[in-house]
Amino acid sequence: MPYNIWCGGCNSMIAKGVRFNAEKKQVGNYYSTKIWSFAMKAPCCKQEIVIQTDPQNCEYVITSGAQKKVEEYDVEDAETMELTAEEEKGKLADPFYRLEHQEVDLQKKKAAEPLLVRLQRVSDARHADDYSLNKALRAQIRGQRKRVAEEEAASRKLGLGIRLLPKSEEDVAAASHVKFKTKFDKNRKDKRALIHASSIFPESSYSMSSSSSKKRLELEAKRRKICAGSASSVLSGGFKASSLSKTPSSSTKFKSSTVSVRKL
C-alpha cells in the first residue's frame, strides 16, 4: 500500500506498506508509459480495492473501494522547517527579489546567531573528550551488570526463577493494602454456611444423635477419671503397676508357709 487509506467497506484504516496479492492489468497509456491497475481484497472485510498508477503526477490514485487518508500537521507543533512553495522558489531565482529581501535575511541571521553559538558550544563540550565519555559509559554498564547479578543471586536464594526488581515506595504501599485470608476466617465462613444450610426446626434424629453423643462424652470422662486415679496411686506408692499384679501371689505363698509351720 503506497499510503494510509480508509477501507470503503468497514471504514477501518489500512496502513502504508501492507502487502497484498493483487491482480495487475494495463488500463491505458500516458504517452509511452503504461498505466497499471491493481485490484486486491481488503483483509478486514474482503472489500475490493482498485488502485492505479498516475504517471503524469508520479503517484497512485485510488479508483474504487477505499479513500486516501488525509494527514495534515502544523509546522510549529511538528517542530519542522517549512519548505518554500513553488512560487517562492521561482522568486528566489530573481536577483532583484533577493536583493530586496537580503536585509530581512541578515536580521534573521543575527537574531538566530546567539542560539546557534550556544548550541555549538554545548556540542563541543560534550564531544571534546571522547575517552572520558567512553570511560563513564563503560563504568555505568559495569555497575548495571553488577546490580543485575546481585538481583539474580538474591532471587536464587529465595528459590525464584525470575529476577526481582528493586523495592520501591509504590510496591510497599500496594503490599500494605493486600490482606490474605487466614484459617480462622475460612472456618468461620464454613460454620456460617453450615448454619445457614441447616434447618431451624429440631428433629427427632438430631435429638437422638445429640443424646448419644452426650452419653459417649460422659463415658469418656469417666474413663479419664479412672485412668487418672490409677496413675496417681502408682505415683504415690513409688512402684510400678506391674508389681501390683505380683504382690498377691507372693502374699499367698507367705500365708501358706505360715500355716504349714503352725501345723507342725
45 in any annotated domain: yes
Joined together, the cell numbers standing for residue 51 give 488502485
Are residues 43 and 12 both part of a single domain? yes
Domain annotation covers residue 177: no
Indicate whether 230 belongs to any domain: no
Using the 3D structure, point to which of 47, 71, 95 is the last residue of a domain.
71
Q: Output the average pLDDT for the chain.
A: 77
Over residues 40-66, the pLDDT tens digits come to 998 888 889 999 999 998 899 999 999
**Same-domain check for residues 58 and 102:** no
Task: Write out the three cell numbers for 92.
Answer: 528566489
Q: How confident is the model at residue 188 (pLDDT cuts 50, 70, 90)?
A: confident
Decide if 185 is inside a domain: no
What string of H, E and C letters represents the secondary structure of 36-86? EEEEEECCCCCCEEEEEEECCCCEEEEEECEEECCCCCCHHHHCCCCCCCH
pLDDT value of residue 45: 87
Give residue 121's pLDDT. 83
Task: Evaluate whether residue 35 is within a structural domain.
Answer: yes
- Out of 162, 182, 213, pick the residue that ends a domain: 162
Residue 114 lies in a domain: yes
Mean pLDDT of 193-221: 66
Helix (H, G, I), strand (E, B), or coil: what is residue 20?
coil
Do 117 and 136 fall into the same domain? no
pLDDT value for 60:
93
Is 115 in the same domain as 139?
A: no
Alpha helix ranges (H) inside the chain: 75-78, 86-92, 95-100, 102-126, 130-157, 169-176, 183-197, 204-237, 241-263
How many CB atoms within 10 Å of residue 51? 24
Query: Are residues 58 and 10 part of one domain?
Result: yes
CA 173 distance to own-chain centroid: 18
* Alpha-carbon span 157 to 160, nearest angstrom: 8
90: domain range?
86-126
The whole-number pLDDT of residue 82 equals 65
CA distance 24 to 8: 20
Rounded alpha-carbon distances, angstroms, from residue 108 to 61, 87, 95, 113: 41, 21, 19, 9
Domain count, the chain: 3
Residue 110 in any domain: the answer is yes
Q: Which of 184 and 17 is assigned the larger pLDDT?
A: 17
149 found inside a domain? yes
Q: Tell me if residue 238 falls in helix, strand or coil.
A: coil
